[in-house]
Amino acid sequence: MKLNEAQESAVTFVSGPCLVLAGAGSGKTRVITNKIAHLVRNCDMPARYIAAVTFTNKAAGEMKSRVEKIVGPKASRVNIGTFHSICARILRYEIDLLGFNPNFAIYDAADQLNLIKSIINSNKIPIEGMTPNAIRGRISLAKNSMEESKLDNKSSSPVDRAAALVYPLYTKALKENNALDFDDLLLFPLKVFNKKPAILKKYQEQFKYVLVDEYQDTNHAQFLFVKLLAEKHKKITVVGDDDQSIYGWRGADISNILGFEKAFPGCKTFRLEQNYRSTQTILSAASTVVRNNERRAEKELWTEGIAGANIGLMETFDELEEAEGILELLEREIVNKKRTFNEFVILYRTNAQSRALEDALRRRGIAYKIVGGVRFYERKEVKDLLAYLRLIVNSVDTVSLKRVVNFPPRGVGVKTVEKCEEYSREKGISLLASTADPDAFGLKGKPADGLKDFNSLIVKYAQLLPKLSAAELSSAVVDELGLVSFYKEQATAEATERLANVQELLNSIDDFCRENPNTGLREFLEDVSLLTDLDNWNQDANSVTLMTTHAAKGLEFPVVFIAGMDEGLFPLARCMESSDQLEEERRLFYVALTRAQDRAYLHYATNRRRFNGIYGMGFASRFVQEIPEENLERITFRSSVTRKLVRGKAGKYKLKQVRTVTNFDDLERGDKVEHKVFGKGMILSVNGSGESQKISVIFRGDIRKKLIAKYANLKRL
């Protein structure tokens, strides 16, 4: 494909710093590869003097392959790689300045985690209930932001205090092992350049032209690295889209791309606004939403393609109906447009949302795959709780016992478990039985107390198994383990996600038992076992794709469904307290919507289960409300059975399936009504008729709600 005018201008400008603001689907990879080719073929720039930097090995490989197609064998001499690979290459030659051997090892996340665990255990560091992984994440974030000094053991944050205690010992252990972690690969070249400027000059001459892809994702260390390399010759091109900057939570700094012109005086800026992916309707909607951000560079995406269909918007009662609604539309697309399963992607803000979607797909026998995450029932926190439940049902399940005997931490290590195994073999009893009396095999102190507590918990709930429903027992186990406080105290995004997944598992058990009233925990566990054993779809098979909105970046699909477009879920409630975080959430929605080539559907629920199974009365996300009405098509969920909240004996609200009421046309403004949850109120307005009728009601306490009449179950007074 021939370069368009804007692309051609960006490619041929080589006399100074260059910023290419490339909107979604505008061909940024074509620009950067063609610019490399232009430098080699038309500017007499030796390939070995060019450095092209990106973020993933896949992207680097694709870039190298495209350059090879244009310039041939010379492409092999271009320094194309990730930030980490190029920095590692430099350090192999220069790291002796920092007291390391050039044969240093590079520790991945698992290696780092094992090292941190060892440090905590051997030094008996009090980590205040924090997980080693949370500590690893906090140290990594501090390094990426070059703010290690801010790790303070006097901090009010438990994870900061724990990380401050571990960090110096962790740094020392890395050096003793002649090892670097991934963050060190970025930081250490800066230390080398600072310590010996002559080395910096050497690499400035070696990399006379620097190109950076996905520049909006760079952190502070990466910014300094490329700035130092390009400081002498001022020959640098960065390509990115500030509207797709979505990794602030892991250190990416949007200021790098927004402030590029200031950091590199004399910079020439090019805007790529022609889109080759999506319809104009999708582009117009996405652009209108993201324009509500204050921190952005102005650009307007357009396409020579068709206007396309409006964006579908479906409101459902809860997450279960949401999943069914998505599949109704998916099947409609297959019938009407002759589509195949691999043309669809279902996006969601948090991994926990996949549960209801997976269950619905499985019930209909539709193949699916999860990208950028693991299946719901395979997630660590879910498997941990399932292990407890399996052990309660089956006391001789040693695999489950070993998995959770020290989760949450109770001082039971590997050696303690080995002693239990020896004693159980000697006495011919189960491993669980051996944990009842650790004194019998000479175990004392914290490990002995931990084993006794664990045994008591399992025995207690095994006895309660016939007396409690599966949902009641599971919820009680979570409470007694203290999992809510365990995850909340970690105060990390990862811990929040894990807690949400625990709650989703409780929801799943409740749903299963309501749909199968004569079953219990044993049957649920059997169902899940079959699911995890058989639900392994071939990555290349014709299947529906499920992924988080973050994982979707850089991908495209003919049809995109975005689930969970509820205020408080997307954007996340915790992100609404900060204008920067809210703007990043809006950019994330922009990324999600612009993955769609032909059609996009948005879904939200008016009653979505929150923590502890409580239903919240929800409404459409502000991002949905920011889309012009002329770009939306409101679609009614047409299931003949819906659900309503009913008060149980204990005063708690539960779901009950009822026939959908279809005639609400007799409701009028000023009518006094009563709602099961909100009490007495008065109708302020009535819009529409039949199933799509919407009403606005003011309840006592000045509580104002917009409701779908068919779900509201209002009683006229």
Q: HSE on the CB side for 100, CA within 13 Å? A: 27
Q: What are the helix (H) ranges across 428-492?
A: 431-434, 445-464, 470-481, 483-488
State the CB neighbour count (10 A cutoff) for residue 93.
12
> Is 321 annotated in the active site?
no
SS3 of 195-217: HCHHHHHHHHHHCCEEEECCHHH
Residue type, 699: F
> Is 331 annotated in the active site?
no
Q: List, as one string, the DSSP characters of 576-631.
A: GG-HHHHHHHHHHHHHHHTTEEEEEEEEEESEEE-GGG-EEE--B-HHHHTS-GGG
Cα 353–chain centre separation:
11
Determine the Cα–Cα distance for residues 554 and 594; give it in Å rounded to an integer. Answer: 10
Supply 44's token pair: 């007499």
Question: Which one of the listed residues 28, 299, 587, 705 is annotated catalytic?
Answer: 28
Residue whose tokens read 């020439």: 268
Question: Which one of the listed residues 244, 316, 492, 503 is annotated catalytic?
Answer: 244
CB 47 within 8 A of CB 189: no
Question: Which one of the listed residues 213, 243, 324, 510 is annotated catalytic?
Answer: 213
CB 628 within 8 A of CB 285: yes
Give Cβ neighbours of residue 686 (< 8 Å, ≥ 6 apart): 667, 668, 669, 693, 694, 695, 696
Question: Which one of the listed residues 8, 12, 29, 522 is annotated catalytic?
Answer: 29
Supply 518's token pair: 């004569």
Helix (H, G, I), strand (E, B) or coil at 179: strand
Determine the Cα–Cα distance for residues 611 and 626; give it in Å rounded to an integer. Answer: 28
CB 48 within 8 A of CB 297: no
State the CB neighbour count (10 A cutoff) for residue 294.
8
Q: What is the DSSP letter of 572?
A: B
Determine the Cα–Cα distance for residues 463 and 459; give it in Å rounded to an integer. Answer: 6
Cα 328–chain centre separation:
26
Determine the Cα–Cα distance for residues 103 and 180; give it in Å rounded to an integer. Answer: 11
Determine the Cα–Cα distance for residues 185 and 181; give it in Å rounded to an integer. Answer: 7
Supply 609's token pair: 């289960």
Question: Which one of the listed residues 214, 318, 321, 322 is annotated catalytic?
Answer: 214
Q: What is the crossing angle of helices 28-42 and 57-71, to 10°?
A: 40
> Is 214 annotated in the active site?
yes
Determine the Cα–Cα distance for residues 387 and 474; give it in Å rounded to an integer. Answer: 11
CB 541 within 8 A of CB 580: no
Determine the Cα–Cα distance for residues 307 and 284; give it in Å rounded to an integer. Answer: 10
Long-range contacts of residues 532-539, Cβ cutoff 8 Å, at least 24 apart = 532/375, 532/377, 532/378, 535/362, 535/375, 537/367, 537/368, 537/369, 539/369
Strands of the 694-699 sheet, one edge to the other: 703-708, 694-699, 679-687, 672-675, 715-716
SS3 of 480-513: HHCHHHHHHCCCCHHHHHHHHHHHHHHHHHHHHH
Determine the Cα–Cα distance for residues 230 and 215; give it in Å rounded to an integer. Answer: 15
Determine the Cα–Cα distance for residues 277 and 29; give it in Å rounded to an integer. Answer: 14
Question: Which one of the listed residues 138, 369, 595, 599 is annotated catalytic?
Answer: 595
> Is 244 annotated in the active site?
yes
Q: Which sequence positions are flagged as catalytic?
A: 28-29, 213-214, 244, 595
